[in-house]
Structure formats: C-alpha cells, structure tokens
Structure 1
Amino acid sequence: MKKAREVLVIGGNRYFGKRLISRLVAAGDRVTVVNRGSSAPPPGVAHLVADRDDERALAEAVGTRVFDVVLDQVCYTPRQAAVARRVFAGRTGRYVMTSTVEVYEHEDSEKLVPEAAVDPATVPVDLELPWDDPEFLESHYGEGKRQAEAVFTTDPAFPFVSVRVAHVLGGDDDFTGRLQHYADRIRTGAPVAVPPVTHPATYIHVEEIADFLFWTAGEDFTGPVNAASHGLLALDGLGTAVAAQLPGGAVVFEVTESGEVSPFAFRRRYGMDNSRATRLGFTFGDVRQWLPKAVAETLGKDV
C-alpha cells in the first residue's frame, strides 16, 4: 500500500489550485493548506493561517511540521521566495513552485522556447526593488517569477522544481475573464482589438495543469519544466472557437497601433517547448482537441 505523503499547498484555493488539492486528497495524501484565511480549504484538509510575506508568522504557523512536498502556488517575488526558502529549509523533501511562461518575455523566438532559454542560476536577484507595490509587481510579473526561481536555485535548501505554466483555459470558474471577453464581444458584435501583427501561443487546459502539478509532486526531477499542451494556437483560431458556440456568432477584429488590445492578442510569441516534460513521462493533450470543451465550460454549457 502506498504511503500517504505529507503535502503542503501554499495558496491554491481557486481555479487549478483547488483541482490540484482535490487530486492530492483523492490520492490519500495528508494535505495542509496555508493562506491568509480569506477562504477555507475543502473538508479533510488541514488549514494554517499566515501571511506568507511575514516570515515569523509563517514559521510559527508551520511549527515543527515536516513535509514530503511543498507546492507553492502563489510565489511572485524574490522576497517571498527568500522567506519560503528560510522557513522550509530542512522541512521538505521537495519544493514545487508554480511559475509562468512570462519568464520568457524577452525570448521572442520563432521556435518553441526550451527551459534552457532562461537559466534561473544566472538571473540576478534584487530584493530591494519595490516588490510590495502592487503596480510595480503587476508590471514586473515575469521578472518577479524569474527572480523567485533564482532565489530557490542559486542556494538550494531542498530539491526544487519551477513549473512554467502556459496560458490556462477552461473551467466554469475562470476568474480571469479572458475567454468571456471574446464571448461578450461576439454576442454584441463589438470588435476585438488587436495589434497590427498577432502571434500564436501555447496553452494548457485547467484540468491538465492540475494533473501536471500533481504528477510533478510525485516525481524526482528538479529544475525548470515547461507545462503546455501540444500545438500552437493563433488568435483567429481562438476567436473562431468561441464564435462557433454562439448563435450567429462571428468575431470581428479591429487593428489598433498603440491602444489596449484584447486578451491573448500577443505582440510577441509565447510558445513553449514541452519536450522535457514529455521525456520525463507526462502525456500532454492537444490544444485543438480540448479547446471546444474549454470554451463550452467558460460559456456555462454542458460538456
């Protein structure tokens, strides 16, 4: 019989995080969630209340607990990473941080980008930047994630993995409103604002990224790993998929040179190479196969 693991999830009470927690519980793991107390975890899950930015509060909440795996869903800055590194040193056998495709924001390649394009061991860390300023953090999202990865990597306190997640679609609880934006525009006949040239991207379904994080928790590889479904998706393909599920729907694109553009109207490519994860044993789906299901979920249709 498989031994139950002690698993800590930092954050993760919504979207693919809550799906990850349900998979851990179903597998028989003993799951603890730590957050600021804004929402309770599901039944059967232990709950610790602490602000992860407050090192003393986080350390006191964790106490003497030791974990097989820590799954960090909400690490956005090198300061947060530095706190977590100190608190969990010697307290976990594996640390999995949810990172992002945005770490590649300066890698505008025509080819799918591999993990080696951004080596966290070479990323400079500046803890003095105004990471507590919400506006600064929002405009430096990719940089915050790069530097957080670097903190865990350059002076390792435990085996560390950073999961660089593609743009996530699907689910009836997609709080981002990005696909809904297209549905609303198409329903009303309003144009979708796009730059003069849009570029394709890789995506991943909300259930697939939950599967991937659950799988990663049980593996023993370390370092960055890209999580993206097979296949590049262009903006017109995404718009067409939404329009196909709306009566008389048709997407109208309107080019803007410098104004704000619609979600997923990328001015650069966001394509990730998923071959490392594939070699390690994870089987990805194809974006073109699950996209209609993702649209239906977002629109509240039966799937």
Structure 2
Amino acid sequence: MRKAREVLVIGGNRYFGKRLIARLVAAGDRVTVLNRGSSAPPPGVVHLVADRDDEKALAEAVGTRVFDVVLDQVCYTPRQAAVARRVFSGRTGRYVMTSTVEVYEHEDSEELVPEGAVDPVTVAVDLELPWDEPEFLEAQYGEGKRQAEAVFATDPAFPFVSVRVAHVLGGDDDFTGRLQHYADRIRTGAPVAVPPVTHPATYIHVEEIADFLFWAAGEDFTGPVNAASHGLLALDQLTMAVAAQLSGVAPVFEVTESGEVSPFAFRRRYGMDNSRATRLGFTFGDVRQWLPKAVAETLGKDD
C-alpha cells in the first residue's frame, strides 16, 4: 500500500492547482494548502493563511510542520524564492516549483528547446529590482521565474524541481479569457490582430499538467523539466478549432507590424522539448488530439 505523504501546496487554489489538490487528496495524501485566505481550499485539507512575501508570517503559519513535498504554485520572484528557501530549509524532502515556458523568452530556436537552454545555476539574481511593483513584475514575468529558479537551484537547501509549464488550455474554469477572445471575434466578425509572422507553440491540457505535477511530486529527479504535450500548434489550427465550435465561421485576421496582438499570436517560437520528462517516465498526450475537447470545454457554457 502506498504511504500517505505530508504535502504542502502554496497557492494553486484554482484552475490546474485545484485539480492537483484533488489528485493529492484522492491518493490519500495529507494535504495542507497555504494562501492569503482570499479563497477557501476544498474540503479535506488543512488551510494555512499567510502572505508568502512576509517571511515572519509565513514561518509562523508553517510552525513546526515538516512536509515530504512542497508544491509551490505561485512563486514569481527571486525574493519569494529566497523567503521560501529560508523558511522550508530542513522542513521538506522535496520542493516542486511551477515555472513557465517564459523562462525561454530569449531563446528563439527553430528546434524544440530543451531544459539546458536555461540553466538556473548560471542565472544572475538581483533581489533589489522592484519585484513588488505589479507593472514591473508583469513585464518581467519570465525573468522573475528564471531568477526564482536560480535562488532554489544554487546551493539548494532541499531537492528542487522546476516544472516549466507550456501554455495551458482546457477546462470550463479557464479564467484567462484567451480562447474566449477568439470566440468573441469570430462570432462578431471582428478582426484577430496578428504579427506579420506567427510562430507555433507547445501546449498542455489543464488535466495533463495537474497529472504532471502530481507525478513530479512523487519522483526523485531534480532540476528543470519541461511539461508540454507532444506536437506544435499553429495559430490557424487553434482558431479553426474555436471556429468549429461556432458553426465553422472562419476567423478574419488583421496583420499589425507593431502594437498589441491576440493571445497565442506569437512573434517568436515557444516550442519546448519534452524528452526529459518522457525519459523519466511521464506519458504525454498529443495536442492535436485533445484540442477540440479543450476548446469545447472552455467555450461550452456560453457557446
């Protein structure tokens, strides 16, 4: 019989985070969820309330608890990572941080990008940047994640994994509004703004990334790992999948040399190599197979 683990989930109370928590509970793990108290976690878990940016409050909330695994869903800056590293040193046997494909924002290869393209140990950390300013943090999202990984990976206080997540699709609770953006424009005939050249990207289904994080929590590998379904998806494939849910009305594209473009209309490549995770034993689906289902889930309530 599988031994129940003591698991802490920081944040992650919606979208794929809540699916991850459900998987942990269903597996018999003793789950603790820590957030700022803005939303209650599901039944069956312990709820700790603290602002993770406040080291004293975080340490007091954790108290003397020790965890087999910490799953950090909301670490966006090196400051947050530094606080967590100090608080959880000696208190966890494994730390899994949810990172992002955006760590590769300076890589523009025609090949799928492997984890080695960004080695967190070589990333310079600057704790003095204005990480607490929302506009700066939004503009430096990828850099914040890179530096957060670097804090954990350099002289690690515990076995550390950074899961670099591809763009997530699917679910009737997708709060991003990205697929709805296309549905609204296709339905009304409004143009979809795109750059002169749009590049494909790798994606992952909301249920698949929850499966992946659950799996990663129970493995013993360390370091960065890419989480992406097999296959690249071009913008026209994505928009046609949305159009298929709207009686096949074709999208209208409008090319813009500069300025804001529609979601997933990428000016650079966002393709991740998932071979490391595959070698480690995770089985990914194919984006082209699950895409129609993902679009239907997201648009089903309104369309």
TM-score range, shorter chain: over 0.9
What is the RMSD computed on CA atoms of the aligned residues? 1.1
Deviation per CA, 1:57-93: give whole Å up to 9, x if none: 0000000000000000000000000000000000000
Post-superposition shift, 1:2?
A: 1.5
- Displacement of 1:259 in angstroms is 1.9
Task: Quote the Cα distance in structure 2 between the aligned partners of 1:166 and 1:113.
Answer: 12
Counterpart of 1:213 in 2: which secondary structure? Answer: helix
Structure 1 residue 268: deviation in Å?
A: 0.1
Deviations 1:14-49 (A, max 9, x none): 000000000000000000000000001000110000
Kindly state the Cα deviation for residue 300 of structure 1 after the two structures are TM-superposed: 1.6
Unaligned runs of 5+ in 2: none
How far is 1:249 from its partner?
A: 1.5
1:242 is paired with a residue whose SS is helix
Structure 1 distance, partners of 2:196, 2:248, is 26
**Residue aligning to 2:135:** 135
Distance in 1 between residues matched to 2:230 and 2:283, nearest whole Å: 10
User: Offset at 1:125?
Assistant: 0.2
Q: Following TM superposition, by how much is the alpha carbon of 1:302 offset from its aligned partner in structure 2, in angstroms?
A: 11
How far 1:248 sits from its partner (Å)?
A: 4.3
Q: Is the 8 A contact 1:93 1:158 kept in 2?
A: yes
In structure 1, distance between residues paired with 2:72 and 2:249: 40
Give the share of equivalent positions with the same residue, in percent. 93
Using structure 1 for the length normalisation, give the TM-score.
Answer: 0.99
- Contact kept, 8 Å, 1:205 with 1:290, in 2: the verdict is yes
Mapped partners of 2:2, 2:175: distance in 1: 35
Kindly state the Cα deviation for residue 3 of structure 1 after the two structures are TM-superposed. Answer: 1.2
How far does residue 301 in structure 1 lie from its aligned partner after superposition? 5.7
Q: Report the count of equivalent residues.
A: 303
Cα distance, 1:250 vs structure 2: 1.1
Shift of 1:183: 0.5
User: Partner of 2:111 in structure 1?
Assistant: 111
Aligned to 2:57: 57
Helix, strand or coil for the counterpart of 1:9?
strand
2:247 match: 247
| Distance verdict in 2 for CA 1:285–1:302, change over 3 Å | farther
TM-score of the two chains, using structure 2 as the length reference: 0.99
CA deviation vs aligned residue, 1:106-164 (integer Å, no higher than 9, x gap): 00000000000000000000000000000000000000000000000012000000000
Distance in 2 separating the partners of 1:248 and 1:256: 25
- CA separation in 1, counterparts of 2:248 and 2:24? 42
* CA contact 1:296–1:302 (8 Å) conserved in 2: no
Query: 1:101–1:272: 8 Å Cα contact kept in structure 2?
Result: yes
